[in-house]
């Protein structure tokens, strides 16, 4: 009886494995698989540093929120804000308590992995906008292109989470209004196009400005200041960022104080930008990133290159 069971199990395993076997005439697309793998690594590496404060969504996101049980959404008034620029802040958002889950945006819808594309036309068709690339004579080789689909992120703020975070940070002079409790935020980030030049070790990410949705009348500046203080920023700096957020909402790019980086402003042909240099243990610059925005577009350029070359590449984008 035991042998019979083993024979049946072996046959079942063999039949199940056969279902996964490729057709006889199938050949692996190594180049395509490598491009998709590189794209996933680039997207994860760049996106994991973003700490997005606030809330946003497009009209498509409204149905997602309603389906999740947010029937009160239809009874509220909302402010829809285009987020047109990026602010770099020297705080580690990972220092917020793990229990304070509402201070971190969560995915509201499934996001497909990046998709490798053949050319700019295919990228434009998937992303909904025409990517802008630097002139051909600036970097060697043709870029590998991929498109990451839209991302919908959101949260329902719990004042208890913010109060706990402030207490853990030793902040005692920050007031958390009761009316913030239950405030719903969402952030809709549209499709992102990534161009990578393997020979030059340069990656350029770009997308349309995200859209922020917050309850009408919500004090986004005060909330930003309180959250930054909970993440370790001093009072004066946090309030300066809060005033700027209230006047012109931005994506916050968080960099921990322990990170070995230098941050400075640079002037590109398209306008002001933030340049970030990452240092290795030997004190040498290992990687450079430039963040900037123009009307209708947000950019992140990074690579194992000099600040001078990174600036030249950014200036070569028409």
DSSP states of the chain: -HHHHHHHHHHHHHHHHHHTPPPTT----HHHHHHHHHHHHHHHHHHTTB---S----HHHHHHHHHTT-GGGGGS-EEEEE---EEEE---GGGS-TT-GGGS-EESS--PPPEEESSHHHHHHHHSS----B-TTTSSSPPEEEEE--EEEEEE--HHHHHHHHHHTT--S----GGGTT-EEEEEE--EEEEEETTTTEEEEEEPPPEEEEETT--HHHHHHHHHHHTT--HHHHHHHHHHHHHS--EEEE--TTS-EEEEEEEETTEEEEEEEEE-TTS-EEEEEEEEEETTEEEEEEESS-HHHHHHHHHTB-
Q: What is the pLDDT of residues 255-278, one digit of tens each?
A: 877 788 888 999 999 999 999 999
> Residues 61, 188: contact at Cβ < 8 Å?
yes
Task: List pLDDT tens digits, range 95-135.
Answer: 899 999 999 888 888 878 899 999 999 999 999 999 999 99
Cα 64 to Cα 222: distance, rounded to the nearest angstrom = 28
Can you give the pTM of this predicted structure?
Answer: 0.72
Strand partners, 147: 115, 193
Q: What is the pLDDT of residues 38-68, one digit of tens each?
A: 544 444 444 334 333 322 222 223 223 333 3
- Classify residue 4 by burial, with Cβ atoms within 10 Å: 0-12, 13-18, 19+: exposed
Beta-bridged to residue 195, according to DSSP, are 145, 204
> What's the rounded Cα separation, in Å, for the pair 1 and 11?
15
| Per-residue pLDDT reduced to its tens digit, 196-242 | 999 889 999 999 988 888 888 889 899 999 999 999 999 999 999 89
The pLDDT of residue 220: 87
**Cross-strand pairs, 194:** 146, 205
């Amino acid at each position: 009886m035991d042998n019979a069971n083993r024979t049946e199990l072996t046959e079942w395993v063999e039949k199940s494995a056969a279902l996964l076997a490729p057709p006889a005439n199938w050949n692996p697309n190594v180049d395509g698989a490598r491009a998709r793998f590189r794209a996933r690594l680039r997207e994860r590496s760049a996106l994991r540093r973003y700490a997005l404060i606030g809330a946003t969504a497009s009209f498509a996101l409204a149905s997602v929120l309603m389906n999740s049980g947010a029937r009160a959404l239809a009874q509220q008034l909302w402010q829809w804000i285009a987020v047109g620029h990026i602010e770099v802040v020297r705080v580690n958002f990972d220092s917020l308590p793990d229990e304070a889950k509402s201070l971190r945006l969560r995915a509201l819808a499934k996001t497909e992995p990046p998709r490798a594309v053949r050319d700019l036309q295919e990228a434009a068709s998937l992303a909904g906008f025409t990517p802008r690339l630097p002139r051909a004579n600036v970097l060697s080789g043709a870029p590998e292109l991929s498109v990451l689909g839209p991302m919908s992120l959101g949260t329902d703020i719990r004042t208890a989470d913010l109060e706990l975070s402030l207490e853990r940070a030793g902040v005692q002079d920050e007031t958390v209004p009761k009316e913030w409790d239950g405030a719903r935020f969402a952030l809709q980030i549209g499709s992102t196009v990534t161009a990578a030049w393997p020979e030059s070790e340069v990656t350029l990410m770009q997308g349309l400005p995200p859209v922020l949705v917050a309850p009408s009348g919500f004090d986004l500046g005060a909330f930003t200041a309180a959250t930054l203080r909970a993440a370790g920023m001093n009072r004066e700096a946090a309030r300066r960022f809060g005033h700027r957020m209230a006047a012109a909402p931005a994506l916050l790019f968080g960099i921990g104080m322990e990170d070995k980086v230098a941050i400075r402003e640079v002037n590109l042909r398209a306008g002001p930008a933030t340049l970030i240099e990452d240092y290795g243990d030997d004190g040498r610059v290992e990687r450079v990133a430039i963040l900037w925005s123009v009307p209708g577009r947000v950019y992140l350029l990074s690579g194992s290159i000099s600040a001078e070359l990174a600036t030249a590449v950014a200036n070569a984008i028409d």
